[in-house]
Amino acid sequence: MSFKLSILGSNAAVPAHSRNMTAQLLNMREHHFLIDCAEGTQHQFQRFGFKFQKINHIFISHLHGDHIFGLPGLLLSMSLNNRKEKLQIFGPLGIKTYLDTCFSISQSHLSFEIIFHETDPQKSSIIFENNDLTVRSFPLLHRIPTQGFLFKEKTQPRKMLKEKIGEYGIPFHDITKIKDGEDWMSPDGSLIKNNALTSDPVAPKSYAYCSDTAYFDQIIPFVATADLLYHEATFTHDLLGQAIVSGHSTAIQAAEIAKNAGVKKLLIGHFSSRYANPQCLLNEAKTIFPNTELAIDGQVYSVD
Ligand SMILES: [Zn+2]
């Protein structure tokens, strides 16, 4: 099952060193989610050959410009492509006013409907759910209300062993119950245990997104055991004072969250423009959490 994260921007605040500001595309079992949308995001889609037509849900962490100034342009391009499908936007209170104002004063009319789900970033809740997955928001610690997101697959039914269907002559209408874990009674009255008919499903995977935030250990329970954690790492640790003042994290702090949360892999991003090469941030993080990678614009990371 597909579960892939594409980085559209890894820089903080302004574009620099061929890095754009924050936006990510998450393909989760063929559900296409956009997470944050910096200015220039639609150019990044073109640059890397990613498609935005399939996006039906957009998740916004907070209302700072480097996370939302790409939205009006992207939405207008969707409209110019004659999009008809409804689009759902999840974001802090104010996201609707922001977009309504942009479109009203520019007299822009979209070809599709937007359904807004305005959130209170101070509270954690399940903000989206379907048959395959849930998305939970949780508070981050930044200069304005900001939320992180946990994208989590649901546990799938057990896998039917195909050869057993023929072997026992199991009728089609019993297979759903067997996949749900029930034993099976054959017509001659013998009970076949479920574990003789099925194998374990693939373990559900999860992706946690934390940007922007200062070091905030209250996020640990929300991101615990994630398969992939994206955590911002704006500064090296010698600039801890600046990180605290600006509501951002150092690479060491991102790695400490990853370590304490027991995640499988850490991806760091939201790099300050002072770092032409973010390798120094990676080196720092790896001293605490070795399985760390840099977010690189255009790169695709598999969540497994
Ligand atoms: Zn911010």
Per-residue pLDDT tens for 244-255? 999 999 999 999
Q: 186 falls in which pLDDT band (50, 70, 90)? A: confident
Same domain, 126 and 182: no
Same domain, 208 and 269: yes
Same domain, 138 and 278: yes
Same domain, 132 and 259: yes
Same domain, 55 and 13: yes
Same domain, 208 and 173: no
Domain that holds residue 145: 3-156+202-302
Query: Using an 8 Å Cβ cutoff, are 228 and 265 in contact?
Result: yes
Q: 195 falls in which pLDDT band (50, 70, 90)? A: very high
Q: List all residues 6 or more positions away from 290 whose beta carbon is below 8 Å from its beta carbon.
A: none
The domain tally of the chain equals 2
Q: List residues with catalytic annotation.
A: 66
Q: Read off the CATH number of the domain in which 267 is found.
A: 3.60.15.10
Q: What is the mean pLDDT of the chain?
A: 96
Same domain, 39 and 185: no
Same domain, 50 and 138: yes
Distance 183 CA to ligand 1 centre (A): 53
Distance 247 CA to ligand 1 centre (A): 8
| Residue whose C-alpha is closest to residue 225's, from 239, 210, 202, 208 | 208
Distance 171 CA to ligand 1 centre (A): 56
Q: 2 falls in which pLDDT band (50, 70, 90)? A: confident
- The C-alpha atoms of residue 5 and residue 158 are separated, in whole angstroms, by 26
Same domain, 37 and 132: yes
Same domain, 42 and 150: yes
Same domain, 65 and 129: yes
Same domain, 118 and 260: yes
272 three-state secondary structure: coil
Dump pLDDT digits (tens) for 95-114: 999 999 999 999 999 999 99
Q: List all residues 6 or more positions away from 264 whose beta carbon is below 8 Å from its beta carbon.
A: 225, 226, 227, 228, 291
